[in-house]
Structure 1
Amino acid sequence: MNGMDLNAFGRVGVLMGGTSSEREISLRSGNAVLNALQSAGVDAVAVDLSSDWADNIRNAAIDRAFNVLHGTLGEDGCVQGMLEVMGVPYTGAGVLASALCMHKQLCKQVLNHAGLKTPVDIPLHADGPLRYPVIVKPVAEGSSVGLHRLTEKRDWDALSIDIEADQWMAEMPVEGVEIAVAVLDGKALPAVEVVPKSGVYDYTSKYTAGATEYFCPARLPAETLRYCMLRAEEAVVATGCSGAPRVDMIVTSGGEPYILEVNTLPGMTETSLLPKSAAAAGIDFETLCLKILVSAATENQGVAHA
């Protein structure tokens, strides 16, 4: 980014790792961001959060945090709150928006209130969902961890999951084209079409080489893409997100997008969906990282408009 004073950032800590089920993905994203920032001339250091997070951050003596954590504690408002108490500006959504988007049920309520469509909820009981086929997934996980498409009762029986404490939810499948729309500084980037060979974009499809095809821009009519990009921007406003969140949706044959989730801290490897979208808009990976870094802030990074 021409004319940028890189010294103004001070020492930047790239927060990565964490203790969630997505630790390895976070490390991959974090190292990609670290290399990009260092290549650009930023004084950036890796901060692998694995034990005492506050000590890890304090000992790194950073002036600003580039958050590349995923999942529990890193993406749900916890580390965001700690950074605010420590007075360290950070990238991504604030405390409230992070907590909201991590809780898929509450996020759906906010999106629906804003006039945005989401998949229909299906009652889930100890002996299984009320109907099939159905999508079953954890209420608060990322990277499609634990997502399952069930077609009959024996599929449920084979899962052997504990649905106590409202930790799981079920939704009616939406048939259509799955796309991801990243929103950078409030403006939607070109949509990426996701075509998993298994038919379900779960954890395996996301992170197994060759398991999924990607098309950017998505193979949809121009007017449909514009509409989806507008809806993604509206979802980001409704949830109070900032930085570069990604809105995942399925577009029906009638051109109507159903929002699956709002991902506040998308993957940042050079082959992740956000960088693909940015590249289609003429923004290389290094520039993308710098643009996100510029957005780092503290104190009320966004309030959900419920």
Structure 2
Amino acid sequence: MTDKTLNVALMRGGHTAEREVSLNSGAAVQQALETLGHVVFPVDDIAVLKALHEKVDVVFNLLHGADGEDGQLAAWLNQEGYAYTGCDHLAGALSWYKDKSKVLVAAEGVSTPNAQCISDVNDLAMTTDGPWIVKPAGEGSSVGLFKANNSAELLAAVEESLRLSKLILIEDYIEGVECTVGIVGGEVLPVVSIVPDGELYDYQAKYESKNTQYHCPPNFDRAWQKALQQDAIKVFNALSLSGWGRVDFIVDDQGRRWFLEANTTPGMTKTSLLPKAAAVHGWDFTTLVAKILNSAFVGGCDE
């Protein structure tokens, strides 16, 4: 871990539906970076970053959503010669588009729910009887997430989701416990399980409810937890991820593990999932931020 004082451009905010989440993450991370002795330049626009170019040692990317996670920002940062947190542009794009990530992860032997990806309601052709989960193929924070129990609800959910995104994913619904596994600088963090306030772990349950429960470690078999951590490493490798990130799963009542998606820039408020897991791992929030910052220079998961 570097003990050098750095000039850190902290990218947060952006123009997506996750702007407020990003700003909240940024406020918490800025405080931690300053506690570590670094000089922080909060940045909400590429033009501002360009103006700071000669002053910046590293970019700490906290832009949630397409602004920071679909690979385009990483490609530009790499082209301009910046050191930056998170994965490269290829891994970002593969992770962002859930239909692509599911194919690559399944090829590595990790189960994932059957799904169809469409851009037009007329392409809808599901072969199962439901229920289904409908969500944008490229989006985060469970924005635009719906559950459909029958064909009428499915059609309505597809039409609504297509108003939010040009490309959507329709997955078989898996009954079970949603779990997440973080990896930071090659270290796999403990599993966090989630009991949402309501049927789905959607935007409201994540950010607005005070009744959603989190368990770290989860209240299920340790062997299942270890298997989830091993699956998370497989996902990181399948998607060429590096630096830091979080992998989301569903565990059904038979202990089968189902990959949902990978998050290359997880939420970083002091109550977000990754900090919860880090605390159980023995890292306080400031140490977690230092580990993520250090990963910008030493690379990511090399399991």
TM-score (ref. length: structure 2): 0.91
Alpha-carbon contact 2:117-2:167 (below 8 Å) kept: no
Give the AA of the match of 1:78: Q
Does residue 1:161 correspond to 2:160, yes or no?
A: yes
Give the AA of the match of 2:267: G
- The residue aligned with 2:260 is 260
Q: State the 1:120 CA deviation.
A: 1.1
Aligned pairs for 1:110-259 within 5 A? 110-122=104-116, 126=121, 130=126, 131-159=129-157, 160-161=159-160, 163=162, 167-259=167-259
Give the AA of the match of 1:22: E
Q: Which runs of 5+ in 2 are unaligned?
A: none
Measure, in 1, the Cα distance between the counterparts of 2:51 and 2:180.
37
SS of the residue corresponding to residue 248 of structure 2 reads strand
- The residue aligned with 1:69 is 63
Q: State the 1:67 CA deviation.
A: 0.5
- The residue aligned with 2:100 is 106
- The residue aligned with 2:42 is 46
- The residue aligned with 1:17 is 13
Q: Please, what is the CA RMSD of the aligned residues?
A: 2.1
Post-superposition Cα deviations, 1:263-301, rounded to whole Å, max 9, x if no partner, equal 111000000000000001010000000110011149xx7
SS of the residue corresponding to residue 145 of structure 1 reads coil
C-alpha distance 170-194 of structure 1, shift in aligned 2 (>3 A): same
TM-score (ref. length: structure 1): 0.90
Alpha-carbon contact 1:91-1:243 (below 8 Å) kept: yes
Measure, in 2, the Cα distance between the counterparts of 1:162 and 1:247.
23
Higher mean Cα deviation, 55-64 or 29-38? Answer: 55-64
Alpha-carbon contact 1:122-1:172 (below 8 Å) kept: no
Measure, in 2, the Cα distance between the counterparts of 1:211 and 1:57.
39
C-alpha distance 141-162 of structure 1, shift in aligned 2 (>3 A): closer
Measure, in 1, the Cα distance between the counterparts of 2:276 and 2:138.
26
Q: Which runs of 5+ in 1 are unaligned?
A: none
Measure, in 2, the Cα distance between the counterparts of 1:274 and 1:295.
15
- The residue aligned with 1:291 is 291
Q: State the 1:132 CA deviation.
A: 2.4
Give the AA of the match of 1:279: A
Moved over 4 A (4+): 122-125, 162-166
Q: State the 1:197 CA deviation.
A: 1.9
Post-superposition Cα deviations, 1:177-226, rounded to whole Å, max 9, x if no partner, equal 11111112223211111111211011111111314111111111111111
Higher mean Cα deviation, 234-243 or 271-280? Answer: 234-243
Measure, in 2, the Cα distance between the counterparts of 1:123 and 1:242.
26
- The residue aligned with 1:59 is 51
Between Structure 1 and Structure 2, how many residues are aligned?
Answer: 293
Post-superposition Cα deviations, 1:214-245, rounded to whole Å, max 9, x if no partner, equal 11111111111111111111111111111221
Measure, in 2, the Cα distance between the counterparts of 1:190 and 1:35.
25
Give the AA of the match of 1:173: Y
Q: State the 1:158 CA deviation.
A: 4.1
Measure, in 1, the Cα distance between the counterparts of 2:219 and 2:133.
25
Q: Comparing both structures, which one devotes a greater share of its residues to helix?
A: 2
